[in-house]
Amino acid sequence: MKTLIIGGGKGCLSILDLMRSEFLQELSLDIQAVVDINPKAPGLIYAKNIGLQTFNDMYEAINKIQPEVIIELTGNEEIIPKIYSIIKPQTKIIDHTIARIFWDLLNIRNRLENQLQETVSIEKKLEAESNFLQNIFNNLADLAIVIDLEHKILRVNKKFADFLKRNTEELIGKDFYEVLENNQLLGNIENSYELNKKILENKHPITLIKISETSDENHWEITRAPIFDKNGNINSFLCTWRRITERVRLYRDKELAEYKFRSFINSARDWISIKDLDGRYIIVNPVIANSFHLPAEHFVGKKPEEVFPEKLAQTINNHDKLVINTKTAHYFDEIINIDGIDHHFKTVRFPLTDYKGELIGVCTIARDTTNEFKLQEQLIQSEKLAAIGKLAAGIAHEINNPLSGILAYAESLQYDLENNPQLKADAEVIIRETLRCRDIVRNLLDFAKQDKPQLQKINPNTIVHNTMSLVKKLPQFKDINIQINLKDKIPDINSDPMQMQQVLLNLLLNAADAMKYKGKILITTDYNRRNSNCIISVEDSGPGVPDNLMDKIFEPFFSTKGTSGLGLAVSWGIVERHRGTIEIDSAESGGAIFKILIPAFLEF
């Protein structure tokens, strides 16, 4: 229908725009022209631009166009009667009040267009988000798929498809179990069904480790996790497979290396320990733990002062601090008391670093050199005894002959000087000192002889009893209380009874002399099962031996009492030839304790 619009304002512009769109396809209005007295009206200008006829005079436009429909948009109530006066009776008029429906339609169209644009924008965002998520999904290091509750595959990442050597699109919608049937990723189908049931019940992910049954060993970490809808209900599962074969192999290598390290530590005869920078033990090998009758676990996490005596702990801490401060290895000679016996250790302490070279702790390796130390002492003592023995053997006879002449002449002079008390007293001094020199020469000869012991099996208690039968007859012991405490069922030793009695007698005489022949002596026997040694101890109540003299007391000619100083040296040599040792220590009462240690005679 030919249509004329009267009034070229904004309403006209909106109707023209609406008519040109496809929004009012069902409304067959053929707009021919626009009329407005204002040549600058926006609707009039728009109509001219789109090729419609424009008029400034309403009568001219109606007569020329002969419209079937007139849309009046002026809003002037006087215009309608004028229009009716000049139009044909069949012409339809849509006044400005009815024309508002076009504006409503225009608003609806605009809203629909806006909604359409928003929908398109949302769809683009959703598509971009979906692509983004799919890219993330595809770039996961794991093989991954999403399946619904019916086990249909909803989403597949590229690594999963590549592993199966199939296209991603080909797998979508397929049954999960059919796709993975007889594949190392699935394993037992029944177990997989049970896995889904557990997830539906517990609503928590489940992870398990699977070893493939193929010829090539493969380890998989399999995780199945629930995916929830907005109501919190599970609507699908995320299934991932992570190949951990290399990690398992690295773990095995680590375990093997750790096992080798532990085997080395536990099998070593040296003391080996590792502490952190706070001084707490990380590792202690069994040799250390057994020495202190403790389990190795007792040390872990503790500092030295928590497990060792204060003095030893302080020494350990000081030496560790030196290593930490200097960041270099240091060597120490350390003495550690174990079960009441001092042990000598050659110790090295060195810093431990991590892969960055940062200091993380201190490692200690200590070797018990007590036996070597004793052997060295014995060797030095033996060399001294051998040298003195050769000297004694060489000069004893030469000295003895002149002494015999001096003694004979002195005795003759003493007889001739009966009437001269002063000179007679001088002669007596000569005789006394000559006799003392002869005793020294006799001791030298005895010392030089160093007779090889005639060994026989004898009990240490028997040696003590035989020696005591001699001591009872000696005047030096008349004011001394001698107590005997002998261990029952002590093993026998290989010994020369006479020589061992001589040693014990020398120790008793030495003790009596130290006490000025008044006091108490305790004689005991014992058996050290650990070292398989029989022990004869002589403890006196005298003043004891100063610490600075203990290393010299067995040296030949060393004496603090004006004697020859050969008694203890001779005793040392005898015990050494019995493959034993003599030890000296201070007693709790303040006196001295001499211990004769002789290997037990054990029959196998």
Q: Using CA atoms, how far apart are residues 323 and 274, in angstroms rounded to an integer? A: 13
Q: Using CA atoms, how far apart are residues 43 and 8, in angstroms rounded to an integer? A: 4
Helix segments in 233-369, DSSP class H: 245-267, 286-291, 304-307, 310-326
The residues, any chain, with a CB within 8 Å of residue 548's CB and separated by 6 or more, are: none
Give the CATH number of the domain where residue 445 resides.
1.10.287.130
Determine what percent of the chain falls in helix, strand and coil, rounding each to the nearest 5: 45, 25, 30
Residue 169 has which token pair? 């699109």
pTM of the prediction? 0.42
Q: Same domain for 414 and 486?
A: no
Across the strands, what pairs with 342? 337
Q: Using CA atoms, how far apart are residues 570 and 566, in angstroms rounded to an integer? A: 6
What total number of domains does the chain contain? 5
- Among 449, 480, 505, identify where a domain stops: 449
Q: Same domain for 360 and 378?
A: no
Q: Using CA atoms, how far apart are residues 58 and 72, in angstroms rounded to an integer? A: 11
User: Where do we find the tokens 């998520």?
Assistant: 133
Q: Using CA atoms, how far apart are residues 481 and 378, in angstroms rounded to an integer? A: 33
Nearest Cα to Cα of residue 157 among 172, 137, 177: 137
What is the enclosing helix (H) or strand (E) of 271? strand 271-276
Across the strands, what pairs with 596? 536, 582
Give the CATH number of the domain where residue 291 resides.
3.30.450.20
Q: Same domain for 462 and 595?
A: yes
Q: Same domain for 482 and 576?
A: yes
Residue 599 has which token pair? 């290997």
Q: Using CA atoms, how far apart are residues 180 and 174, in angstroms rounded to an integer? A: 10
Q: Using CA atoms, how far apart are residues 521 and 478, in angstroms rounded to an integer? A: 12
Q: Are 330 and 341 in contact (CB under 8 A)?
A: no
Q: Same domain for 345 and 274?
A: yes
Q: What's the CA dihedral at 98, 101, 103, 107 to 10 degrees?
A: 170
Q: Same domain for 490 and 588?
A: yes
What are the strands, taking DSSP E only, across 149-205?
A: 153-156
Digit-coded pLDDT (tens) for 163-202 = 888 888 889 999 888 888 777 677 555 677 788 889 988 8
Digit-coded pLDDT (tens) for 72-82 = 888 787 888 88
Q: Which regions in the chain score pLDDT beneath 50?
A: 562-564, 604
Give the CATH number of the domain where residue 76 resides.
3.40.50.720
Nearest Cα to Cα of residue 345 among 361, 330, 367, 327: 367
Amino acid 189: pLDDT? 58
Amino acid 249: pLDDT? 82
Amino acid 197: pLDDT? 87
Terminal C-alpha separation, the chain: 136
Q: Same domain for 497 and 595?
A: yes
Determine, yes or no, domain membership for 122: no
Amino acid 564: pLDDT? 47
Q: Identify the three-state secondary structure at position 464.
A: helix
Range of the domain at 585: 456-599
